Structure 1
Amino acid sequence: VVDNAIVTTDQIIYHIENGEKRQIASALGAGEVGSALLASTLTTLAVLLPLIFITGLIGIFFSSLSVVMSLAIASSLFVSLSFVPMMGSKTFRTQEDRLFIHRYSKRFLIWLERHYALSIDWALHNRKKIIALTLLCALFTVFGFMRIGTELIPRSDTGSVRVNFRLPEGTRVEETERVAKEIMFYAMDNIPELENVYIHGGSSGGGMGALRGESSNTGSAGIELIPKGERKRSSFQVASQLRQYLESKAGFEAVSSSVSSPIMVGSTSKPIVIELYGENINELLEVGDKIKNKIEQIPGAVDVEITQKASRPEVWVDVDKERSALLGVRTNDVAQALRAYYYGVEFDEDYWEGEDNYEIWLRLEPEQRHSWDTLNKLLVPSTTGEMVRLTNVAKIREELGPPEIHRKNRQRLITIELDTEGRSLGEVAADIKGVLKDIDLPAGMRTDVTGDVEDLEETFMQMTFLILLGVVLVYMIMTGQYEAFLDPFVIMFSVPFALTGAIAALLVTGMYLSLQGLLGIVMLVGTVVNNAIVLVDYVNLLRARGYTMRDALIEGGERRLRPILMTTLTTILGMLPMALSRGEGAEIWRPLAVSVIGGLSFSTLVTLVLIPVVYSIVEEKIRRKPRFVEAEGGTSQ
């Protein structure tokens, strides 16, 4: 937001130092840069405003941010063209500051401007070399995008580790609780960073627990660590230690150890979910086990789990329709009677003892409910009111059956879920898709990869569209501003090298390309052109005053170097605390700062050298009709 004010102030100071009065210098300075500031502000708004209208995950994250930034940038334009010139006409002075650091910084800037002018002159005499170097940068950008890992949202070191496990079907609550306590005692003895630990061992499987998939054989443990600044290990290292301990123990059907996310609260599935569709549940489990074994061999794939619970013993009561009809017993009456025997029947009235009331239930004793002999002796009612022995109208047998059946779009499926460690979500997902292609599935079966992978692909497509839309809008705005097509074309050459710098910065820092990193690239599309706009606009102004093209490029570059460096440094220094922060949750927004710092830094360096070269090529080789007097024989000033 200070960029516009910096450019305006610099131009006013320039005229004051050349002997103009403060009022005249303020009017001249603001007038000379006004069109450039308007264009640069509109280009920034062009990439921010579309974010307001995007729905889904991008809209949730960035709509409010884009509104605030758009209002702030629009306000900065108004201030830079009204308040800054007004204050400059009253307060700016010509005498040199006596501070030691200012004297030496001014000498350094003069030296830098002089050598930059020499660099432009060299570049204009070696245009082929400059173009060759830019092509190498473009190749690096393509290579970088192919090499960098991708993820939806960076993982944050929240200091909260959660362990979930599932024991074989039929495991009693007492045994599940014992295993949960073992995990708790291990954490207390072997994790020095531990602050609090809690466990949940087994559930009756009723109420909300049934909706969460809890039962007598499922349990969990939560480990809360001390604050991030007080420990040497991250939450991910602690989760890895717990995972290794759990994998060394036998008896688990499924187990996972992960760091709780501060964003995806309430999500029960893991980042990568493989859906296997088919009709026969046993065949699905067999093929699913083969897929699971192959995925476990993929580097970075951890906590691979088939969420479908193993088949458990069930008692099947097959009612003989002919015999039951002869005896007047209906199938519904058999079902109701068995429910009353084993689940129970609640009386309409409660038992009161003082002010306390107790529900009254009637059902078999626990010993009777677990007895085959009792089951064979049970009686069921007939339509005549007589009681008939159950074994006279039905066959009773023990079978294995799935405890739950999942369907999606009316198709039966099982899911294989996994987490990632040491590699990005996109890299692991790509390897999984390769493995699935090599597996020959039986007829009628198919697979689909969902979870965060599906959101990742959708989000990246939307962000790519936003980047392309931003490029088009920026070009259209500059075309309308300059009433020409070639000047915006020259300025747009600064955009691709913002991608180069952003990808290089992410690769050097070891970060993945995430939603936040892509937001940084979207912002860069609208901001990196600002320096080129300021440079090209001033070069055109000098040429309109009679400068030759070469002298205008050298003089314009030398004059615009200082505001370009100042605006770039203010943005970089503003982002630096976010990039260097190591506090709680800093990992989420760090890629945004790193991508902006890398993209803006590299694009600025390229702009200072490449834009003058491209400008000269366009003017000499492409533009047919000269625009300025010097092009028809004018002289240098």
Structure 2
Amino acid sequence: IPLALLCSIVGLYLIGATFNLMTLGGLSLAIGILVDNALVEIENIKRQISLGKPVQQAIIDGARQVAFPEFVSTLSICIVFLPIFLLSGTASYVFRPLALAVVFAMLASYLLSRTLVPTLASLMLPAEVRDETSREKRKGFGLFRIHHGIESFVDKLAVVQGGIVSWLLSRRILIAVPLLLAVGLGVLAASRAGREFFPKTDAGLMRLFVRVPTGARIEETAKVMADIQREIRAVIPKKDLLFVVENIGAPNPINLAWVESTAISPSDGEILVQLAEGHQPTDGYLAQVRVMMREKFPTVQLFFRPADATSQTLASGAPTTFEVRFMGRDVPGNLALTRELKERVSKVSVDRTRAAYLGITEQDAATALLAALGSGGTVAPNYWADPAIGASYDVQILVPPPDLKSSEQLLNLPVRPSAGGDPVLLRTFASIIEQRSPASVSRTTLLPTLTLVANVQDRDLGSVTKELNVILNELRGKQKPGNKIELNGQAALMESSYTELIGGLGLAAVLVFLVMVVNFQSWSLPFVAISGLPLAVAGALAALWLTGTPLSVPALMGIIMVVGVSTANSVLVSSFARDRLLEGATASEAALEAATTRLRPVVMTALAMILGVIPMALGHGEGGEQNAPLGRAVIGGLILGTFASLFNVPLMFSLFARVRKPDESIREEELADATTI
């Protein structure tokens, strides 16, 4: 385990990966299956010794017998991670390091099982065999008593399993009943479990975007923000609140490219809330703040933005979970579809004839207005670089806000003609009228764009996305040609990731099947090895449903791991059964012997994997919720997958294998090939 993990860390270092929750999750996931190759080999060597062979010969024969099945098993586990590498966008950067950590560890595990494990066995096992007699004498004392008790239990378990398999071999139709029930449970779980892109993590952060009525000055916005902060402090108990920070107004134009913000005017702001350690669930406080804002600040627009680093990464720049874009040049039609999202503004109307008579141009009037209102920086920015610290600042000259409180005061603004002459009051040639206009104008590929944003509360992302797509399809039918509606945000990423993962998993299944065709030299026996997969996948889905865990990309990765490990265990059973069939046993005899002989390595592999992911499945610690679905899917899938490998696979082998014994010359040739392999 430590050597394989170190090899995986070296591989991650070479590709430029870092230690983070995903790479550490991959390493912890790999711990459970790293012992698979070595465990199977040691168990097979012990079995060879029990047949009376010398230790050195038992090591050679045991290692040779499982070399190719272990190679196929390891390759199968690596292949099933292929869907992760087919992901695109943000999901690929998030989940690919986890898959690479597992693949590197598995490859190192196989190489070590071919080299280090036989060497250590040749050094340790001779002394153990010589000491077998003294152990028998001491079996009633201390750890030896526990050891022999476990050995006795496993032997009795093998007898019970052999009796069940033997009974089922004569009544094969009965196995269909529990199989159908298990698969039905999996289908029910898949339909009832919710869908998420990524598990929600409680980082103790809240990020509120607030927009007061458009046109408010920054000091008026600050008053509203202060009132909101007081109400938030009334909602969140003092013991759960660490600090609250306000960012009011649009960021400095110089820093706009570096500051992740949706604020566009002085009437916008953000409130950042950091909860104290040991706080109550953040989602509960989010719901209470929503209710409070609706009741006490009905004129204020509010939505919650991704607060922690993981949520911001998965959002890919979207301000909320859902971002629906209405794109096209049919702005009136799109406005109608977005319920005419407009804001009230004032417009200065210039009488061009009178202005020209006075020597005033539109540019003269615009320059005076922009300077007075403090908007000149967006048209003709003026920067000053501080030579001491190297920071740049935008510099503007504007009328002090307390001196400009009404439109009448604005009309008294003096405008100086560019051609020269005395200043002329703005009211001489202009008037102020009120009109409706968007607060901001956005474009996507030069097309005017209207954006609706929304979040999810008390429901899973998948069900809301499904209903939203139905509504959007109806709205698309009402649009004029050349206009379109796009769904962005986590909802769109979830749908694309699910599609890519499921498609990649199908491709991986085909590749695993072809690898097993090469291994078995048969087109029918690979179906035997994968016959337990429906049961394993059903177990993973049932575990997610029973624990109230929505389906997510980490959960799908857990299902992928279940597919790989279950396939590896089934390959061991079916490979042994095939070898016994070539040696002359009947299909039923080969199936029964394979089930009982491979009981120990299959159970130990499954137990090692389950015990290895239990801490992950519990989801304790900061960020533990991210990989908890993966661990729960693995545990549920391996529980049913192990039963499938030990009962379903032998029965399917007896059905698929040829009842008639093959010709002796053919059998000898195949047996020779198998021995060579």
TM bin, normalised by shorter chain, reads: 0.7 to 0.9
Asked if 1:551 corresponds to 2:615, the answer is no
462, 465, 471: which one pairs with 1:426?
462
Asked if 1:21 corresponds to 2:54, the answer is yes
User: How many angstroms apart in 2 are the aligned matches of 1:100 and 1:56?
Assistant: 56
User: How many angstroms apart in 1 are the aligned matches of 2:505 and 2:185?
Assistant: 19
Residue 224 of structure 1 corresponds to 274
Asked if 1:242 corresponds to 2:289, the answer is yes
C-alpha distance 422-180 of structure 1, shift in aligned 2 (>3 A): same
Bigger mean CA offset, 479-488 vs 364-373: 364-373
* Correspondences of 1:474-485 after superposition (within 5 Å): 474-485=512-523
| 1:533-572 residue CA offsets vs partner (Å, 9 max, x unmatched) | 1111111222233322222211221111011000111111
Asked if 1:198 corresponds to 2:198, the answer is no
Aligned partners of 1:380 and 1:387 also within 8 Å: yes
Bigger mean CA offset, 457-466 vs 376-385: 376-385
Asked if 1:571 corresponds to 2:604, the answer is no
User: How many angstroms apart in 2 are the aligned matches of 1:318 and 1:421?
Assistant: 49
* Correspondences of 1:502-521 after superposition (within 5 Å): 502-521=540-559
The amino acid that maps onto 1:89 is: S
Residue 347 of structure 2 corresponds to 315
Asked if 1:260 corresponds to 2:307, the answer is yes
* Correspondences of 1:54-73 after superposition (within 5 Å): 54-73=87-106
Shift of 1:508: 0.8
C-alpha distance 51-365 of structure 1, shift in aligned 2 (>3 A): closer
User: How many angstroms apart in 1 are the aligned matches of 2:525 and 2:74?
Assistant: 17
The amino acid that maps onto 1:240 is: A
Aligned partners of 1:240 and 1:257 also within 8 Å: no
2:338 match: secondary structure: helix
Aligned partners of 1:498 and 1:600 also within 8 Å: yes
* Correspondences of 1:70-219 after superposition (within 5 Å): 70-92=103-125, 93-94=128-129, 95=132, 96=135, 98=139, 99-192=144-237, 193-200=239-246, 202-203=248-249, 207=253, 208=255, 212-219=262-269
User: How many angstroms apart in 2 are the aligned matches of 1:39 and 1:499?
Assistant: 20
Residue 488 of structure 1 corresponds to 526
The amino acid that maps onto 1:61 is: V
610, 626, 633: which one pairs with 2:662?
626
**What is the TM-score with the length of structure 2 in the denominator?**
0.80
User: How many angstroms apart in 2 are the aligned matches of 1:569 and 1:36?
Assistant: 20
Gaps spanning 5+ residues in structure 2: where?
1-33, 385-392, 669-677
| 1:155-195 residue CA offsets vs partner (Å, 9 max, x unmatched) | 10111123332221233434433333334334444423423
Shift of 1:390: 5.0
User: How many angstroms apart in 1 are the aligned matches of 2:487 and 2:366?
Assistant: 40
| Identity value in percent | 27
User: How many angstroms apart in 2 are the aligned matches of 1:537 and 1:136?
Assistant: 28
User: How many angstroms apart in 2 are the aligned matches of 1:271 and 1:347?
Assistant: 35
Aligned partners of 1:543 and 1:630 also within 8 Å: no
Asked if 1:332 corresponds to 2:378, the answer is no
The amino acid that maps onto 1:37 is: E
C-alpha distance 411-326 of structure 1, shift in aligned 2 (>3 A): same
The amino acid that maps onto 1:129 is: L
C-alpha distance 565-286 of structure 1, shift in aligned 2 (>3 A): same
The amino acid that maps onto 1:603 is: G
User: How many angstroms apart in 1 are the aligned matches of 2:290 and 2:113?
Assistant: 57
Residue 355 of structure 1 corresponds to none
2:249 match: secondary structure: coil
Bigger mean CA offset, 74-83 vs 272-281: 272-281
Structural RMSD (CA): 3.4
Aligned partners of 2:346 and 2:435 also within 8 Å: yes
| 1:391-447 residue CA offsets vs partner (Å, 9 max, x unmatched) | 665555343332211222333232221111222111011122233445697553754
C-alpha distance 479-430 of structure 1, shift in aligned 2 (>3 A): same
Bigger mean CA offset, 40-49 vs 572-581: 40-49
| 1:221-275 residue CA offsets vs partner (Å, 9 max, x unmatched) | 3322222xx34x3111222222222222133331235773331337451111222
Aligned partners of 2:337 and 2:475 also within 8 Å: no
Bigger mean CA offset, 311-320 vs 457-466: 311-320
User: How many angstroms apart in 2 are the aligned matches of 1:258 and 1:315?
Assistant: 32
| 1:460-510 residue CA offsets vs partner (Å, 9 max, x unmatched) | 111112211110111111111222212112112122222211111111111
The amino acid that maps onto 1:160 is: L
Aligned partners of 2:591 and 2:651 also within 8 Å: no
Asked if 1:399 corresponds to 2:399, the answer is no
The amino acid that maps onto 2:109 is: S
Q: For this pair of structures, how many residues does the alignment match?
A: 601
* Correspondences of 1:357-436 after superposition (within 5 Å): 367=403, 370-372=406-408, 375=411, 378-381=414-417, 383=419, 394=430, 396-436=432-472
Asked if 1:288 corresponds to 2:326, the answer is no
Shift of 1:589: 0.7
C-alpha distance 438-398 of structure 1, shift in aligned 2 (>3 A): closer
C-alpha distance 42-221 of structure 1, shift in aligned 2 (>3 A): same
User: How many angstroms apart in 1 are the aligned matches of 2:221 and 2:372?
Assistant: 27
Residue 301 of structure 1 corresponds to none
Aligned partners of 1:272 and 1:450 also within 8 Å: yes
User: How many angstroms apart in 2 are the aligned matches of 1:177 and 1:28?
Assistant: 80
User: How many angstroms apart in 2 are the aligned matches of 1:55 and 1:363?
Assistant: 48
Aligned partners of 2:165 and 2:592 also within 8 Å: yes
| 1:104-147 residue CA offsets vs partner (Å, 9 max, x unmatched) | 11111011000100111111112112134324433443343333
629, 636, 648: which one pairs with 1:591?
629
| 1:577-621 residue CA offsets vs partner (Å, 9 max, x unmatched) | 100132111111111111122112211111211111211111258
Aligned partners of 1:502 and 1:598 also within 8 Å: yes
User: How many angstroms apart in 2 are the aligned matches of 1:78 and 1:48?
Assistant: 19
User: How many angstroms apart in 2 are the aligned matches of 1:73 and 1:115?
Assistant: 33
The amino acid that maps onto 1:528 is: S
